[in-house]
Structures are given as C-alpha cells and as structure tokens.
A and B are shown apart, each in its own frame.
Chain A
C-alpha cells in the first residue's frame, strides 16, 4: 500500500478512483504519563510519552484507513490528510482520510 499526500503517486499512473477512505481513533492519556507530563510542565522540554502516544494513535488511524482501502481493492491512497481534535479534557481524536485508488499494474517496482 502506497500513501501520498499529493493528488498522484509519483512515477505511477492511476487507473481507477475508488472514493474516500478514512480511519480514526480516539485515545486518552493515562495517569502515569500524566504525572511525568506535569513534571515536564515545570522544567519544559519534550513530553516523550505524549509524542509516542500520539504517534501510535496516528499509526492506528492510518492502519484503519489502509485496511478500508484494501477491503475495496485499492493498492494506494492519495491525497491523505490528517486532522486532530480534542473532544474531552484528556482525549483526542486522530483522523486520517484520503482517496483510494488503483495503480497501473505494469508500473509496480
């Protein structure tokens, strides 16, 4: 599965558009990380726990989007966009969406 955030996949030809696919996940931070984060809020610096958490969540959203694309027979997703929204005090929704496409078979590497 090839992803890109432009309208095409560079070096390949799109033969069919299959429409919008999306994946989302809602995650909450856990207490242990929260305690570490409150220390960091005094000293400043990167909150590694949060970076990891959001990274994992975003990968999960991408995974779900890819699964959906695979289930409708696509082999690439173009124009991928991400959006983040905080719904409650401690939870965030991570959302990925894009257009599922079929690439020309002869052009595969």
Chain B
C-alpha cells in the first residue's frame, strides 16, 4: 500500500470522527440558543405593522463554516451518481441557522423584540485545488425593531 493511500485513509478517518463530533456539538448549541432566543421574532416581511413608538436598526450576523474531509469525499462520490447530497444539506442548514442566531443575538443585545425583512446571502468563499466547495459563508441581515415605552 502506498504512502498516499495511507494518508488519504487517515484523513478520511479523522474527518469522519471529528466531523461527526463537531456537527453534533454544533447542532446541540444551535438548538439550545434557538430556545434561548425564541422570543425574538424573525420575519422576512417588509411591511411592519404599527407597533407604536419604535426604533429601528440594522442587525447582521455571519458565519463561515467548513465541511470535513470525509463528507467532502462522500459528496464527491455523490457527484458521480447524482441525487441528494446530504453532506452539504446539513452544512448549509447549520450555517444558515447559525447566521440567523447571531443576527438575533445582536438584536437581543440591542433590546429589540423582532427582526423584519430578514435576508440571507450565501457565498462559497474557499475552493480547494479540485474546485470543490470547501466552505460556505452565510450572511443574515434585517431591520431590528425596538419598542420604546
């Protein structure tokens, strides 16, 4: 067995083990924070109902998140056969939820109770030699509304 194959298998194994741990831990933290911030309402609606004396401000949140070696390999195989690429689905799901959470956290820190006109922007920022997507950036922004009494 050549040295290259051993390295490849080691990376695959490391990616599988640490990738799974990282993903589980991330989902756990996302769910916990989503519960904590559930009182900050998020809407993609542009027209804000009349809430009385309010103050608005732009809030944003972004995250860059990377896929692990194992999943990238699996996704590469998937490219050959076609079909759903579950590996990337969970990556994007985690990235979007994380970005929205960071935006919500900023809104919460400013004392806002809701965020309107939420927009999400996704871009792949890093490409490795084989031109496969290594990581994605998700940027979420919206107008936070603070009700002044």
Contact = CB atoms under 8 A, between A and B. Distances in A.
Nearest to A92: B125
Given A10-B143, A82-B139, A86-B123, A54 B71 contact: no
Nearest to B70: A44
B64 A3 contact: no
Interface string B57-83: 110101111111101100000000000
A96 B55 CA distance: 22
B85 interface: no
Interface residues of A, number: 34
Interface string A38-52: 001111111100110
Q: How large is the interface on B (under 10, 10 to 19, 20 to 34, 35 or more residues)?
A: 35 or more
B54 A47 contact: no
Contact of A4 (B19, B26, B56, B123): B56
A59 to B, nearest CB: 9
Contacts of B46: 6-7
Given A44-B66, A50-B137, A58-B60, 9 more contacts: A4-B58, A5-B141, A40-B66, A42-B69, A46-B98, A50-B64, A80-B141, A81-B119, A82-B141
Interface of A: 2-7, 9-12, 37, 40-47, 50-51, 54-55, 58, 80-86, 89, 92, 109
